[in-house]
Amino acid sequence: MIELDEARRAFLLRAALAAVAGAGIGTVPESLAQAQPTQHQHSAQPAVHPHPSSARGFGAFFNDDDAATVAALTERLMPGAPGKPGALDAGVLNYIDLALVGAYFDMQDFYRRGLNSLEAYCQKTHKESFVKLGDARQNEVIAALANGKATEFDWPRPQAFFNTLRTHTVEGMFADPIHGGNKDFAGWRLVDFPGAHPVFSQADMLSKNAFAGDQYIGLQSRAPRRRA
């Protein structure tokens, strides 16, 4: 279990090396290139009582049940560890929630139907919702999604749902905090990315080591301030 979590974390950290250079809400996942069928109404789901920590940081788009599921999924994709922040620590749920009423507005039905299909698959396979499964079972479900073997999916296909969620997890971990994720620069600190500092010394520019400054700067520091 620990080895699987570390392997998954290492994969996303490698992806982050590209993400931190210019990540934000702007790259449309390949899954959107699929032909989208007629939209269906979001069907009712069994009541889920999410843990308070997993449900924190949402409300723009997700309801309680979907927020708990997305929080659990992203944490399995980018699990926290002692001294190493995970998706929950970085506010990835908040990032995705805000994106779905912003730049990813056209993916709302993609998420609704994907989450409904995931619920149906988990109920059929394990008789429980994803959030109620243990870590090992959750990893099995994620593997089934990644390998395209999860049944109960029509559109989006399970791999498309997994790939999109993984992409958005990386974005939420490592994009500028102004977009709602990377809380307290958790993702940047994880990969020693200092942000867009206005001034670097000559020694900083010539050094082959990670920047040693302790100040992290993001776009929110340059956002206009409201007058009282």
* Cβ atoms within 10 Å, residue 47: 8
pLDDT at residue 40 in the model: 34
Task: Check: CB of residue 130 under 8 Å from CB of residue 138.
Answer: yes
Q: At what angle are helices 135-146 and 158-174 packed, to 10 degrees?
A: 110
pLDDT at residue 209 in the model: 80
* From 84-93, 180-189, 203-212, the region with the lowest mean pLDDT: 203-212
Residue, of 219 and 76, whose pLDDT is higher: 76
Please enumerate in sequence order all residues whose Cβ is within 8 A of that of 120, keeping only pairs 6 or more positions apart, or say none. Answer: 152
Q: How far apart are CA 225 and CA 228, in angstroms?
A: 9
The CA-atom distances, in angstroms, between 31 and each of 123, 157, 165 are 25, 9, 10
Please enumerate in sequence order all residues whose Cβ is within 8 A of that of 196, keeping only pairs 6 or more positions apart, or say none. Answer: 217, 218, 219
Q: How far apart are CA 198 and CA 45, in angstroms?
A: 49
pLDDT at residue 190 in the model: 86
Peptide bond into 156 cis (omega under 30): yes
Name the residue ranges covered by the structural domains of the chain: 2-25+40-222
Task: Check: CB of residue 195 under 8 Å from CB of residue 210.
Answer: no
Rounded to two decimals, what is the model's pTM? 0.69
Cα dihedral 124, 125, 128, 131, rounded to 10, equals: -120
Q: Is the pLDDT of residue 8 over 70?
A: no
pLDDT digits (tens, 9 = 90+) for 124-181: 999 999 999 999 999 999 999 999 999 999 999 999 999 999 999 999 999 989 899 9
pLDDT at residue 135 in the model: 92
Q: How far apart are CA 100 and CA 179, in angstroms?
A: 12
pLDDT digits (tens, 9 = 90+) for 40-87: 333 333 333 334 333 456 789 999 999 999 999 999 999 988 888 999
Q: Is the pLDDT of residue 31 over 80?
A: no
Please enumerate in sequence order all residues whose Cβ is within 8 A of that of 128, keeping only pairs 6 or more positions apart, or say none. Answer: 122, 137
Q: Is the pLDDT of residue 95 over 90?
A: yes
Ordered DSSP codes for 12-44:
HHHHHHHHHHH-SS-PPPGGGGSPP--------
Quick one: pLDDT band at residue 32, thresholds 50, 70, 90?
very low
Please enumerate in sequence order all residues whose Cβ is within 8 A of that of 223, keeping only pairs 6 or more positions apart, or say none. Answer: 178
